[in-house]
Chains A and B, each alone.
Chain A
Amino acid sequence: MAMRGENWRFWLPVVVLLLFAAYSAQRLVRCHVDPKVDAPDYFFTRKLLARRGSIYSSFGSKYPFVKSVPFWEYSLDPVSLTNVVVRHKRDPPRPKEAIVKTIADALGLEYGKVLKMANASQGPGYRSQFLALSSDPKAYRVLADSSLVAGVAIHDKQVRQYIHGRSLSHVLGSVNAEHVGSAGIEQRFDRDLTGTPGTIQGMRDARRRELYDRRKVSIDPIPGADVYLTIDHNIQFETEDALRWGVKEFGAGAGWCIVMDSRTGAVLAMASLPDFEPLKFGRVPDNVKINRAVGFNYEPGSVMKVLTVAAAIDSGFAQPGTTYRTNRDDPAYYRLPGDGSHVWDPTMTLKDAIVKSSNIVVGKLGYDFRPKRLYEYFRKFGLGEKTGIDLPGEECGILPDPNKRMWDLASWSRAAIGQFVSVTAIQLISAYQAIANDGVRMKPYIVDRVVASDGTELLRRSPVAAGRVISAKTARTMREIMLGVASRDGTARRAAIKGYSVAGKTGTAQKQLPGARGYAPGLYRASFCGIVPASDPHLVVLVTLDFDARTKFHQGGNSAGPVFRRVATAALRYLMVPPDRPDEITESDADDEYDMIIEERARKTIR
């Protein structure tokens, strides 16, 4: 029995230890086997934002057009601001006014405005009033410090930064508030650009700090793929600058310009005015949103004559020297539009008809050539169908099929001179590119490649031939004919570039009356499409100015020609294309037009 009295000394620690072990085991089971027994508040699932892919210029990843940048979105809760005591260590609590002052100073806001927000006590969403969107880390450090401020909610946000501002806005497009592409490349490649968000599932303690050892799921976000364009940002800058100058100088309401590599079909620059601020896309009027270079059908006017003559020569129907009479009262041709004062010869060869832009001669040629053949050639030039360029909203033009719907007799000659049919700018430049590329039309493209975040190429566009349109001989002949347009005798002498041969064609198209038959009197679209250098083409440039009011500069040679000259001069210099007429350049040309442009720009900037 003496033993019995002493047993408790042994059993007490044993029991305590056992209880402790049981408790520990139970905790282990709770935590590791079935953690759901804890309060659900301790569990959280956090979605990690995936960075949206960037859009780069042809220079690669150091020259982006668009990027997603992490920002902080700050919003104010007046209730928390009033109720939460803010103090630094043992200092007295900070008064509301001091906190408001700190917030206003950190975000660069007006004190009165923030104070008004802090004093709000009712109204929809008054507990989450938007303060600012900022990427300033100093502001973040201040506002995230609970010993300085209270009532400021901070949310991580990805904001789309358009590095070049309004430049290339129609091509790049925009994203909406949910970061979904709503126009341009952003829309076309939305699926690729959008990344896959990551997830974190875990537990947090009573102070809402994550318990890192209880993290159950941790999936990193996968950033979106990057899109590399064929656009060269330097040529784009020069193009937009020249187009903006042209629109302002000649009083046009809108204008568009495309620069294309004549050998590959790659678009080097694409500008459309008026442009817009991509971040304010939602508030942009519809007529500004439209990318006129691809999404706008218009009657091209005389620039079509080149295609008609090329078709006639290629088929053997006519030769550059084929002569037509220039009388317009011939009833067989349904009174073609007049030729203006610059055409006065009683007869004219096809070559001269291009140089002087004779409606009558080319109209008669088109009439004699017949619609079916003309239609076939126009189709081969890519008219009447989408080019397939990687931009949303592309129009396919209007080119009625004479096999399905008879062209009326007037249309036989009108189509030849650029009336009755409608094209888009990209179709037109693609057709000229075929002439520049010895008759082979290349599929135009603006996206070079799409690269995933791990470096995998998701898409690569390479030059693809859309087909041979005309023979190489015809193409060369056409370029020779077109050389005269930018000469002293042609309609676009202001498009000539010293040192380089320019093969081009002007166009002065009457604008149709909106919603009615016929043309608006005195309103025109002036175009110039040129190939430089004509002997060894490198570039094709199309410029169109759309006039909303009567102006004396409505002709292609007077308005679009000089813009073409500015664009092409800068692009040729930039690409260091060797001049094919070097003898034209003399030492005295040191202050040529390009230099004057630079000086003009410098004056504006310094002012």
Chain B
Amino acid sequence: MRKNRKIPKKMSVVATNTMRFGAIIVFLFVMVILNFLASSSCTQLMKIKGDKERELSRLDEERMRESTRWEEMKTPDKVEIALLRHGLAMRLPRPDQNIRMRADGTPYPGQPSLARARQRSSAAMTARVTTTKPTFSSQSRRRRPR
């Protein structure tokens, strides 16, 4: 039975499917071009990314170096030297120069430092009053301490 089967005549692919074949070729060509374009764009992007990465790393390192330089200048000995160079001999306050305050801003009662501060401020006010020229406006009278 197989022998009797009619062998189909070989037909030219080109002749029969020229349009289809051409479309495949064009499709392939387009795909290849697209791949190249995508690849090129990808390379470009990666290059930019790499540059940014390096820039970030450089800036981070620079920041680290700068912050270290600044921190080195903030050590107590360096601060003291810097102040002394400007003629400022800074010292920690004496215990009687501290006034301890409550959270609401009022001082704790019974602090000798507070009494001294009040005394000093009243003395200063008195001094100010005596050195200020007498004025008779209502405003200045209101400001005058008791």
Q: Which A residues have a C-beta under 8 Å from some C-beta of B?
A: 7, 10, 14, 17-18, 20-21, 24, 28, 51, 62-64, 67, 69-70, 135, 137, 161, 163-165, 167, 210-213, 215, 233-234, 237, 499-500, 570, 572-574, 576-579, 582-583, 585, 587, 589-590, 592, 594-595, 598-599, 601-602, 605-606
Q: How far is the CB of B110 from chain A (nearest CB, A)?
A: 10
CA distance A585 to B95 in the complex (A): 8
Q: Is B129 located at the chain interface by the 8 A CB criterion?
A: no
CA distance A122 to B50 in the complex (A): 39
Contacts of B92 in A (CB 8 A): 570, 573-574, 594
Q: Is the CB of B64 within 8 A of A70?
A: yes
Q: Is the CB of A605 within 8 A of B76?
A: no
The residue in chain A whose Cβ has the minimal distance to the Cβ of B120 is A587
Q: Is the CB of A137 within 8 A of B46?
A: no
Q: Which of B67-121 contact A (CB under 8 A)?
A: 68, 71-72, 74-77, 80-81, 84, 89-96, 98, 100, 111-113, 116
Q: Which B residues have a C-beta under 8 Å from some C-beta of A?
A: 14, 25, 28-29, 32, 35-36, 39, 42-43, 45-47, 49-50, 61-62, 64-65, 68, 71-72, 74-77, 80-81, 84, 89-96, 98, 100, 111-113, 116
The residue in chain B whose Cβ has the minimal distance to the Cβ of A214 is B46
The residue in chain A whose Cβ has the minimal distance to the Cβ of B116 is A587
- Quick one: given A70-B61, A595-B91, are A163 and B68 in contact (CB under 8 Å)? yes
Contacts of A67 in B (CB 8 A): 64, 68, 71
Q: Is the CB of B68 within 8 A of A582?
A: no
- Which of B35, B75, B89 sits near A163, CB closer than 8 Å? B75
- Quick one: given A63-B71, A161-B68, A578-B100, are A28 and B35 in contact (CB under 8 Å)? yes
- Quick one: given A64-B71, A135-B65, A161-B68, are A17 and B29 in contact (CB under 8 Å)? yes
Contacts of A585 in B (CB 8 A): 94-96, 112
Q: How far is the CB of B118 from chain A (nearest CB, A)?
A: 14
Q: Is the interface of A mostly helix, strand, loop or mixed?
A: helix
Q: Is the CB of B76 within 8 A of A237?
A: yes
A-B contact pairs, 15 of them (CB 8 A): A17-B25, A21-B28, A63-B71, A69-B65, A70-B64, A165-B75, A211-B46, A237-B76, A500-B95, A572-B95, A578-B95, A579-B96, A592-B94, A594-B92, A598-B89
Q: Is the interface of B mostly helix, strand, loop or mixed?
A: helix
Q: How far is the CB of B87 from chain A (nearest CB, A)?
A: 9
- Quick one: given A576-B98, A582-B95, are A69 and B50 in contact (CB under 8 Å)? no
Most buried by A among B90, B96, B100: B96
Contacts of B75 in A (CB 8 A): 163-165, 167, 233, 237
Q: Is the CB of B76 within 8 A of A212?
A: no
Q: How far is the CB of B140 from chain A (nearest CB, A)?
A: 32
- Quick one: given A135-B65, A212-B47, A213-B43, are A599 and B95 in contact (CB under 8 Å)? no
Q: Is the CB of A21 within 8 A of B32?
A: yes
Contacts of A233 in B (CB 8 A): 75-76
- Quick one: given A70-B61, A599-B89, A606-B84, are A212 and B50 in contact (CB under 8 Å)? yes
Contacts of A583 in B (CB 8 A): 112
Q: Is the CB of A579 within 8 A of B89?
A: no
The residue in chain A whose Cβ has the minimal distance to the Cβ of B72 is A163
Q: How far is the CB of A559 from chain B (nearest CB, A)?
A: 24
Q: Is the CB of B94 within 8 A of A589?
A: yes
Contacts of B39 in A (CB 8 A): 213
Contacts of B89 in A (CB 8 A): 598-599, 602
Contacts of A51 in B (CB 8 A): 64
The residue in chain B whose Cβ has the minimal distance to the Cβ of A69 is B68
CA distance A574 to B80 in the complex (A): 15
Q: Is the CB of B32 within 8 A of A20?
A: yes
Contacts of B14 in A (CB 8 A): 7, 10
Q: How far is the CB of B51 from chain A (nearest CB, A)?
A: 9
Contacts of B76 in A (CB 8 A): 233-234, 237
Q: How far is the CB of B64 from chain A (nearest CB, A)?
A: 6
- Which of A18, A64, A212, A500 sits near B46, CB closer than 8 Å? A212
The list of the 5 closest CB pairs from A to B, nearest first, reads: A212-B46, A573-B92, A237-B76, A70-B61, A213-B46
Most buried by B among A211, A579, A595: A579
Contacts of A135 in B (CB 8 A): 65
- Which of B42, B72, B93, B96 sits near A213, CB closer than 8 Å? B42
Contacts of A62 in B (CB 8 A): 71
Q: How far is the CB of B58 from chain A (nearest CB, A)?
A: 8
Q: How far is the CB of B31 from chain A (nearest CB, A)?
A: 8
Contacts of B43 in A (CB 8 A): 211-213
Q: Is the CB of A163 within 8 A of B71?
A: yes
Q: Is the CB of B80 within 8 A of A605?
A: yes
Query: Known contacts A67-B71, A213-B43, A578-B111; can you find 18 more A-B pairs with CB under 8 A?
Result: A20-B29, A67-B64, A211-B46, A212-B47, A212-B49, A212-B50, A213-B39, A237-B76, A500-B95, A576-B98, A578-B100, A582-B96, A582-B111, A582-B113, A585-B95, A585-B96, A602-B84, A605-B81
CA distance A560 to B75 in the complex (A): 26
CA distance A62 to B70 in the complex (A): 10
- Quick one: given A598-B89, A606-B84, are A14 and B65 in contact (CB under 8 Å)? no
Q: Is the CB of A582 within 8 A of B94?
A: no
Q: How far is the CB of A304 from chain B (nearest CB, A)?
A: 32
CA distance A5 to B74 in the complex (A): 91
- Which of A24, A165, A499 sits near B95, CB closer than 8 Å? A499
CA distance A441 to B118 in the complex (A): 42
Contacts of A17 in B (CB 8 A): 25, 28-29
- Which of B36, B49, B98 sits near A578, CB closer than 8 Å? B98
Contacts of A20 in B (CB 8 A): 29, 32
CA distance A161 to B75 in the complex (A): 13
The residue in chain A whose Cβ has the minimal distance to the Cβ of B71 is A163
Contacts of A594 in B (CB 8 A): 91-92, 94
Contacts of A590 in B (CB 8 A): 94
CA distance A585 to B98 in the complex (A): 13
Contacts of B62 in A (CB 8 A): 137
Contacts of A592 in B (CB 8 A): 94
Q: Is the CB of B50 within 8 A of A573?
A: no
Contacts of A69 in B (CB 8 A): 64-65, 68
Contacts of B61 in A (CB 8 A): 70
Q: How far is the CB of A498 from chain B (nearest CB, A)?
A: 9
Q: Is the CB of A605 within 8 A of B93?
A: no
